[in-house]
Amino acid sequence: MEFIRNFPFFSVAVFLFSAVICSVLKPRAARIWTVAAETAVLAFSACVLYYTWSTGEFFRYNMGHFDAPWSNQLRAGVLEGVAATGFSLILLLSHIGGMRYVNADIENKKQSAYCTLLNLIGAALMALAYTNDLFTGYVFLEIMTLSSCGILMIRRAGRTALAATRYMVINLLGSGLFLLGTCLFYGITGHLLMEYIGAGVATLDATGDYAVPLTVTIGLVCAGLAIKAGLFPFHTWMPDTYGTATPTSSAVLSGIVSKGYIFLLVKIMYRVAGVNTEAMTAARHILYVFGILGIILGSVWAMRSAYLNRMIAFSSAAQIGYIFVGIGLGGTAGFTAALFQLIAHGLTKPLLFLSGARLAESSGDSQYFADLQGAAHRNRAAGAAFTVAALSMVGIPLLAGFPVKLYFAIASVQHGILVDAVTLLTLAVSTLLNALYFIRTAIRIYTPSVRPAEKNESQVVIDKKSDPGLAVAAVGFALAIVSLGVFPGSLSSLITTGLSMFA
């Protein structure tokens, strides 16, 4: 066996081991160690992606001396490689970009714990990307839930405890439903490995045995993961959560944690429950409806927000809606659109949170739009980064958001007049709403400030504090967004290849 086939396992193990190590290191050492681990895993993931793409084959990896179906197993194909690479890149950049805020927001004694939790999130994401076993998926789902609560409440500021509690309750509801679903899958098929459950489900679907348990199981799993991902109407934790956490936490939670759940859901649809079994088709249609509602209402709430973080958070609810619309549309086109959006939004949202935090900092630590006026003049780099991300969210060509909308439009035209009309109309309305609030924000930060405090001064106060970490992260994210916008075909062809390997 080629050595490179160990890399998926190494990705998980490196993060787990460095989580343990970080808990006893001094804060500075823990930070350096964590960034090193994130970089190493990014390299591993990129190698796996390249390897699976160049050989055109997926591979399985037995966790131990026993063959399937007796033991746990990992599996890596192009899609797993894409997800792992995307997740580790976003994790690394979000961590580097928000490091100065982490240092300021979190007590020094707890910084090592913060690094530990980030490592655990990384391990969970890698495991969710690569696992071929439903129960392993559940175990790492729990690690992800707990550690995301940890990185939320580690900042002692105002509402974080409330936000974390709310996040915890909704997430545990999702976990509970997913666990029930997993148990029922085991009960009706006798397996936990995805292919074997998949084969069992296909048989049951054909024969019609255990129809009620099968339907309920699929419903529970879909509902559980959709709740955890924050699909409307279970997005109510988002504004407080993203609004009060330290920027790195917001970036990690919105950029990758919710995406990890969705990736697992897509995996289950393709490899466990079957995309086109009767029950799954029904479940996908329901997800589609909630996705459409989420897109519109998320945007409406975002427009009504009085401060920046909250607006970005509500726009997340809308963007998660897009992914579920893609899943609901189904077919290769629909899933390609959904997964493209998963990566594109994962790259854009952290940049919004990080540059937004910088803009707020140069406006006297205020997230209120009134105070943000002219922020882009006080800090030009952050303003530029925010504008790139905001325009991408709107869907301006040459940025990552444009191909997303294009793919959704393409995916929608194969589904008859009603779905077609609803999807296209929603896309149009949502683009309009996005443009209204994002471009308005961009204009606001570029409008010279008229606040009384600064009227007396003849010049704009330029925020000169240097933040090399944020600069690196912003350049990285912006490059990724632009290259996705200019060459969308490269990613979408990877996704299509990956989806064909999935089945």
Partner 1 sequence: MKKAKKAPKTQPETAKVSGTAASSIKKWLDFDLDIDSLPVPPPRESAEDDGGDETPLLSRIPKSAPRFVYTALAAICSIVLTATLILTVEGMPRYGEDQDYMDTVTYEYITHGMEYTGAVNIVAGIILEYRAFDTLGESFVLFCAVTCVLVLLRADSADSMPEDVVFRDLSHDAILRRTVLAIVPLVFMFGVYVLLNGHLSPGGGFSGGAVIGAGLVMVSVAYGGDVSGRIVSERVFKIVTTCALSFYCLGKSYTFFTGANGLHSIVGNGTPGNILSAGLILPLNVAVGMVVACTVYGIYRMFDKRSF
Tell which positions 110-129 bind partner 1, by CB under 8 A: 110, 113, 116-117, 120, 123, 127
Q: Write each residue from 315 to 344 as x if it is in contact with partner 1 (CB under 8 A), else as -, in one continuous string.
A: ------------------------------
Q: Which of 54, 207, 208, 212 binds partner 1 (CB under 8 A)?
A: 212
Alpha-helical regions (H) of 398-439: 401-412, 416-434
Out of 54, 65, 416, 465, the only residue in the binding site for partner 1 (CB under 8 A) is 65
Tell whether residue 140 is a contact of partner 1 (CB under 8 A).
yes
**What's the CA gap between 465 and 483, in Å, rounded?**
29
From residue 473 to residue 502, what is the string marking binding to partner 1 with x (rule CB under 8 A)? Answer: ------------------------------
* Residue closer to partner 1, measured from CB, 298 or 350: 298
Q: Is residue 226 within 8 Å of 321, Cβ to Cβ?
A: no
Q: Pattern 2-31, binding to partner 1, x per CB under 8 A?
A: ---xx--x---x--xx-xxx-xx-------
Nearer to partner 1, 40 or 139 (CB): 139
Among 46, 139, 172, 179, binds partner 1 (CB under 8 A): 139
Residue 184 CB, shortest distance to partner 1, in Å, is 7
Among 36, 104, 157, 190, binds partner 1 (CB under 8 A): 190
State how far the Cα of 52 lies from the Cα of 61, in Å rounded to an integer.
Answer: 13
Q: What is the C-alpha R_g of the chain? A: 22
* 365: three-class secondary structure by DSSP: coil
Binding to partner 1, residues 272-291 (CB under 8 A): none
**414 to 433, contacts with partner 1 by CB under 8 A?**
none
Query: How many positions of this chain bind partner 1 (CB under 8 A)?
Result: 83
Q: Does residue 1 interact with partner 1 by CB under 8 A?
A: yes
Which tokens is 32 given?
Answer: 């350096």
Q: How far is the CB of 501 from partner 1 (least distance, A)?
A: 20
How many Å apart are CA 451 and CA 454, to the nearest integer? 6
Q: In this structure, are residues 481 and 379 in contact, taking their beta carbons and an 8 Å threshold?
A: no
Stretch that binds partner 1, among 183-191, 250-258, 351-359, 481-489 (CB under 8 A): 183-191
223-262 positions binding partner 1, by CB under 8 A: 233, 236, 239-240
**Please, are residues 348 and 363 in contact by the beta-carbon 8 Å criterion?**
no
* Positions 151 through 180 that interact with partner 1 (CB under 8 A): 153-154, 156, 159, 180
Partner residues linked to 60 by β-bridges: 75
Q: Are 228 and 146 a contacting pair, CB within 8 Å? A: no
Which residues make Cβ contacts (< 8 Å) with residue 160, sequence separation at least 6?
A: 152, 153, 244, 245
Extended strands (E) in 24-134 = 59-62, 73-76
Nearest approach, Cβ of 20 to partner 1 (angstroms)?
5
Q: Report the distance separating Cα 357 and Cα 341, nearest Å.
A: 24
Closest separation in Å from C-beta 254 to partner 1:
17
Contact 226, 234 (CB under 8 A): yes
- The pair of structure tokens assigned to 92 is 């690394």
